[in-house]
Chain A
Amino acid sequence: MSIRTAIVRRAIDVGALLAEVQDTANGAVVVFVGRVREVNDGRAVTGIEYSAYGEMAERELAAIASECASNFGTADLAVEHRLGLLALGEASIVIVVAHPHRAAAYEASRFVIEEVKRRVPIFKREGYTDGSREWVNASGVAEYGASPEHRS
């Protein structure tokens, strides 16, 4: 089993992540790429600036990978999340999951992206074609009662 997670400040090389999951016991490999979309809430986006509480983000990402491995069996996993200023179409996150069977590979991939969105302390500010910028409250979570540790 190989598990690697990282927060990076450079372009993510999907091929390099794919090369990390070479165990031929795994007949299914699912690649998820999250990238900067040109429109959000009806506004034309020019780019997104990602920042993070770096030390905690690395820790949460590693914890998610470890939970993924125990929840879905012996999946091989490579995940990178990028920080900094990203242009349209650039990848902010790449998740590569390998598993003996496709159903678990898809589920494991979905688990990782949903948990990342829910609890990894990464923040983003979108830039728009009119020159304005805004922080994005993607999850909207701002209450203790609904905090990542306390939601089911």
Chain B
Amino acid sequence: MTVTALLFASYAEALGSDRVELALPDRATVREVVAQLRALPGGAALPHSPLVAVNLTYARADQRIASGDEIAIIPPVAGG
């Protein structure tokens, strides 16, 4: 399946884009999304276990991804 990962702030800067299309095996998890992103040029700037949201909700590393999910890799939050 193909999914789109959204990137923000320092992570978008490191990978040179704010969205990346990824080809993933069926039943892939958040962990595999992060691993693919980290293998891209600039991807080493992402921590091994960044904050990830799936469909606007914070997700665990072992959460499964479905086709069409909105996956966001979220840098350390700094609001306020």
Chain A residues packing against B (C-beta within 8 Å):
34, 50-53, 55-57, 59, 81, 92-93, 113, 116-125, 135-145, 147-150
Contact = CB atoms under 8 A, between A and B. Distances in A.
Contacts of B13: 135
Main secondary structure of the interface of B (DSSP, over half): loop
B77 to A, nearest CB: 5
B8 A34 contact: no
Nearest to B6: A53
A51 B60 contact: no
Interface residues of B, number: 24
B9 A135 contact: yes
Given A55-B56, A142-B49, 8 more contacts: A93-B80, A121-B79, A123-B77, A136-B78, A138-B76, A139-B78, A147-B58, A149-B57
B50 A51 contact: no
- Residue in A56, A59, A125, A140 whose Cβ sees the most chain B Cβ within 10 Å: A56
Contacts, number: 100
B16 interface: no
Nearest to B60: A144
**Chain A interface mostly:** mixed
B24 interface: no
B58 A123 contact: no
A139 B53 contact: no
A141 B51 contact: yes
Contact of B79 (A117, A140, A149, A150): A117
A78 B73 CA distance: 29
Nearest to B62: A144
A121 B8 contact: yes
Question: Among A34, A53, A59, A120, which residue has the most Cβ atoms of chain B within 10 A?
Answer: A53
A123 B47 contact: no
25 contacts: A51-B8, A56-B72, A57-B79, A81-B80, A92-B79, A113-B80, A117-B77, A119-B58, A119-B77, A120-B77, A121-B8, A121-B51, A122-B80, A124-B79, A137-B75, A138-B76, A139-B76, A140-B76, A142-B47, A142-B50, A142-B51, A142-B75, A144-B61, A147-B58, A149-B60
